């Protein structure tokens, strides 16, 4: 049996080393991908590798108080939007519509 390196594997050499390397590589890749698939259900890989559009560094940096502040600001903007768009607010329609509404 020849003890040549794997990359010299040709018909003139004993290719048992080649086949063992190929089988080992395929087994390693299957093991790697199965581990990645299992780990894909975890938070980090699921959100940051499989769905990179969801990756927002600002959300990671914000602490609980900062997150609450964002929620308060969003709620305030929503309330302002509802106030402006309320049915009793006819200022944006002009004087004729205001008189008709009264």
State residue 30's pLDDT score.
Answer: 92
> Going by C-beta distance under 8 Å and a sequence separation of 6 or more, which residues neighbour residue 8?
none
State residue 28's pLDDT score.
Answer: 93
State residue 90's pLDDT score.
Answer: 52
State residue 23's pLDDT score.
Answer: 86
pLDDT tens for the 102 residues of the chain, in order: 455 555 555 555 666 677 788 888 899 999 988 877 776 665 555 555 555 544 455 555 554 445 555 566 666 655 554 445 555 555 555 555 545 555
Kindly list the domain boundaries of the chain, sorted by start residue.
Answer: 1-53, 56-89
State residue 9's pLDDT score.
Answer: 55
């Amino acid at each position: 049996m020849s003890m040549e390196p794997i990359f010299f594997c040709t018909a003139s050499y004993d290719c048992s080393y080649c086949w063992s390397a190929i089988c080992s590589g395929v087994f390693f890749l299957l093991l790697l991908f199965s581990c990645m698939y299992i780990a894909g259900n975890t938070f980090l890989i699921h959100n940051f590798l499989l769905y990179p559009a969801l990756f927002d560094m600002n959300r990671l940096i914000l602490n609980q108080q900062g997150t609450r502040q964002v929620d308060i600001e969003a709620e305030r903007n929503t309330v302002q939007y509802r106030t402006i768009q309320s049915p009793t607010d006819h200022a944006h329609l002009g004087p004729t519509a205001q008189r008709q509404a009264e």
